[in-house]
Amino acid sequence: MKTFSPIGWVRAALLALAALIMSSAPAWADKYASIVIDMETGQVLHDRSADEPRHPASLTKVMTLYMVFDAIDQGKLKLSDRMTVSKTASRAQPSKLGLKSGTTIKVEDAIRALVTKSANDVAIVIAEKLGGTEAKFVTLMNAKAKELGMLNTTFRNSSGLPDRKQVTTARDMARLGEAIYMDHKDRYNYFSLSSFTWNNRKHMNHNELLKSVDGADGIKTGFTNASGYNLMASAERDGRRVMAIMMGGTTGKSRDRHVADLINAAFLEISGAPASDDDLRVRIAFGSRGNASADDLALAQLRKLQDPDAALVSARDPALIAEYDAAGAFAEGESTEEDESGYEIVAEGDSESIEADPIGDLIGTAVAAEPAAFDPNTVASTPVPAALPPASTAIIVTSEVPAGVAPSPTSLEQLALPVAQ
């Protein structure tokens, strides 16, 4: 009887997925955007979908902090001032400190809580302190955004909690990142905090690049189901600073790796070093060497697959992710960046349903041991296996292909090659 190889199934599934990508621009593909700026010259070193509307998630809190720093400079706030927690603030959705109505929190503690824990209740406390109500504070936020040149940004709350009308662009977020560094350089060091302790609980900064990228010293992560994984990051080397924004990542880890690559490529570009065929700048379509088919992370992760029997698991399937987490597939600290206590899809209080996920439909399903033939039209209806493969052999496959961009013929040809690291 004819047997069916797991690797052959993967190739067939991804080829079917590629055809699906080329024929449409599904919702899951239109979240990615990125931009990298040389802050000394203002030169845009790299951009991809940088002017397309995106949801900011907790990058919103960078504007909230900008407003706090402005108020301190203007003498309206002191770091030692205590702000009262309202019932509205105490009822904020996670991520939060869990502040009780009627209690108080110092301004400096609030700053630290926003930078590290990304606490939504604290964002509302600040909004009510500076604006009287959060709605009035949002009006001030939007006025400041326009003043800073963020012409494609509309804020609807102070935290980044889901609101379909709260939109921005990667370019606008880069303007905000530059502004808070240039206008409040004396307080920028808050974004380098590794942790914050509140009520005897230590909250770690979710920006993993602070520990892994040379020169990285800020600034903010973000995640909701609608936005995907966002990151605003800055680094300085040899007196030169770059600001990198990525929005719409499918996992926190792939986002972190991609932004690290963007930063490293930026410094290569600034150094003027000649590019070779395997240069990082070429591989991620950077700067003047860039093209419309920049890195396809799904193909890249497929190429890293060493074990032909390894399971491919959709990074957007909460049920499978939860089971792998329970099985110990994720190391400690590898949860979503908005809650370090566990891997949570709803990490900033995003109660919206998970969007349709064609990748998950293709690769997160069972295949019979000896199917007669592969039919991509029936894969999505195949039941998920009752027993998961060992966590040690699971490879998380993600995709950040931008809307309207089809895989290149070269990429499709690579699918037919033996899988190797």
**Catalytic residue positions, numbered:** 58, 61, 118
- Gyration radius of the chain's alpha carbons: 22
Q: What gap in Å lies between CA 144 and CA 138, rounded to an integer?
A: 10
At 105, which amino acid appears? I
Residue 52 has, within 13 A of its CA and on its CB side, a CA count of 17
CA distance 375 to 368: 12
Nearest-angstrom CA–CA distance, 46 and 288: 8
Question: How many degrees, rounded to 5, is the angle at CA 111 between CA 109 and CA 112?
Answer: 65
Contact 203, 197 (CB under 8 A): yes
Neighbour count for residue 72 (Cβ, 10 Å) = 19
**Inter-residue contact 198 to 97 (CB < 8 Å):** yes
Calculate the CA 199 to chain-centre distance.
Answer: 28
